[in-house]
Structure 1
């Protein structure tokens, strides 16, 4: 058995892009570890969810553990950096924000966890952070370097399959004659994910779709019960989010690949 470490910018980031991967790895007997760069203190909470005086960072931290329980995660760690907020906002330029932390410094902090866990696979994000978010871009930079420092055999960049997403949206529009509720995605979405031609691997996790949705529900301060991902019919949710996509620059030799890699990930072509 092996160990998969999944590195994320904020609480709830693990749920949409990688929860199926984490649940599948854990179900197959592998050790799964979640690491968050920040506690997401600049996130926008769902109205009415926080109790009077409740601290959002503390609440979001607790939600990480609830999400981890749903997915079978064995360990949750926080690197302790400050949330940068959205691109263009003052927080992203603040010298104390995660986005401004020297990459080498943060990478060494993450590498300590990777070395302690003897990680076989590390998941990060693609070079645009999947969405252009400053902290998610930093996760890519820090994760790539930390993987080098700790000698992790596989660093897999979680991404959105842009072509898959657009095909799905067009299908929904064709079927319904209108856009799906609360979703507006243009025909060209340069800030979201990567084209299918750049994606190297996928994880088929349809059978873990309910665990993935429960992971999302655990982040109640960010995703209310009326969130479009939580109100999708089960079949639509499984079809749209049951496959997760990754970019791996240097896939391991099959003869020496870690078990968790060969058990969970498969090539696109």
Structure 2
């Protein structure tokens, strides 16, 4: 059995991006750990937050509930503030992940990798999926941390399958489902299209047997209503199509994309 450490930018990113593979790995006996690089304090304010409770504190409770739903062994935090979306003034705030020294941030993650004796570390693709400053920084932090760790772990990078998403959106519209104007082939926050193409992806992982846990993980992050409500309001058959597979890049493995399970 392996110890697999996932690094995500904000609490709730694990739910939408990798909770299926995390749940599957945990169910199969692997030790699965999630590390959040930021506290998510520029997220939405929960409707039921109690007086004096910060966004960061509320989201930490949600992260713990999500971890329990997935079956994770540990939740760790690198201790940085949320940098906000691309172009926000918070990008330049002291204490934000975007402003953090790369080696310092990477050493914080490497310390967790060493504590866990991690066999695998999972980060993000080269542009963090859609160019969010914190996601892009996580890509670099994870790669550097893998080099700094006492025992260099195998590196994987989470991404979204742009080609599949284009096909699914077209199919949904043809079937009469109401789908917004989102176009994954158009420029995102950094001017690049969403996710990765199939010739850039290594692993297409079937997580259809763990969608109940993925849904529970998303449910745990209800405070982030804009995205979470959209996901959870999908008809079951649409939810299954969009979330039944997750995708990973393995640097150095040129593919082609294959169906499989990287933690066998």
Same fold (TM over 0.5): yes
Shift of 1:118: 1.0
Q: Does 1:188 align with 2:196?
A: no
Alignment partner, residue 257 of structure 2: none
Change (3 A) 1:173 1:6: same
TM-score normalised to the size of structure 2?
A: 0.90
Q: Which has the higher contact order (CA 8 A, sep 6+)?
A: 1
Alignment partner, residue 39 of structure 1: 39
Gaps of 5+ in 2: 187-191, 254-260
Gaps of 5+ in 1: 252-259, 264-269
Shift of 1:193: 0.5
The count of residues paired between Structure 1 and Structure 2 equals 251
SS of residue matched to 2:126: coil
Change (3 A) 1:225 1:9: closer
Alignment partner, residue 252 of structure 2: 250
Shift of 1:16: 0.6
Alignment partner, residue 19 of structure 1: 19
Q: Does 1:125 align with 2:133?
A: no
Distance 1:232 1:187 in 2: 18
Q: Deviations over 1:214-260 (max 9, x none)?
A: 10000121137981210112222122111000111135xxxxxxxx9
Shift of 1:187: 6.2
TM-score normalised to the size of structure 1?
A: 0.88
Q: Deviations over 1:37-64 (max 9, x none)?
A: 1110011235x23233321100000110
Distance 1:187 1:127 in 2: 16
